[in-house]
Amino acid sequence: MKRAEIISQLNEIFEDIIDEGSVSLSETSTSNDVDGWDSLAHIQLIVAIEKTFNIKFSSDEILSWNNVGEMIDCILKK
Partner 1 sequence: MTFNELKKNLKKDFTDFKPLKLALLGDSATQFLAQAIRGAGYNQQFDINVYDADFNQVDRQILDLSSELHTFQPDIILIFEAGHMLLQKFNKTEADIHAAFAENQINRIRHLVDTLQNNLKTKVIYFNYAEEDDRVFGNFANKVPSSFIFQQRKLNYLLAEYATTNAALYICDMSAIQSKMGRELLFSPTIYIASEMVLSIDSLPVIAESVVQIIAAFQGKFKKCVILDLDNLVWGGVIGDDRLDNIQIGGLGIGKAFTEFQYWIKKLQQRGIIVCVCSKNTESVAKEPFEKHPDMVLRLKDIAVFVANWENKADNIKRIQQILNIGFDSMVFLDDNPFERNIVRQNVPDITVPELPEDPAEYLEYLYTLNLFETASYSSEDANRTEQYQKESERVAVQFSFTNENDFLKSLNMLSDVQSFNSFSTPRVAQLSQRSNQFNLRTVRYTEEDIKRIIASKRYMTFSFTLEDKYGDNGLICAIILEEKKPKELFIDTWFMSCRVLKRGMENFVLNTIVDYTRDKGYQTIVGEYLPTAKNALVKDHYSNLGFIQHDDFWLLQTATYQPKEYFINTKGNLKL
Residue 73's SS3 state is helix
Nearest CB to partner 1, comparing residues 5 and 60: 60
Tell me if 46 contacts partner 1 by CB under 8 A. Answer: yes
**Could you tell me how far CA 76 lies from the centroid of its own chain?**
13
**Of 7, 17, 49, 71, which one interacts with partner 1 (CB under 8 A)?**
17
Tell me if 16 contacts partner 1 by CB under 8 A. Answer: yes
Tell me if 74 contacts partner 1 by CB under 8 A. Answer: no
Nearest CB to partner 1, comparing residues 32 and 59: 59
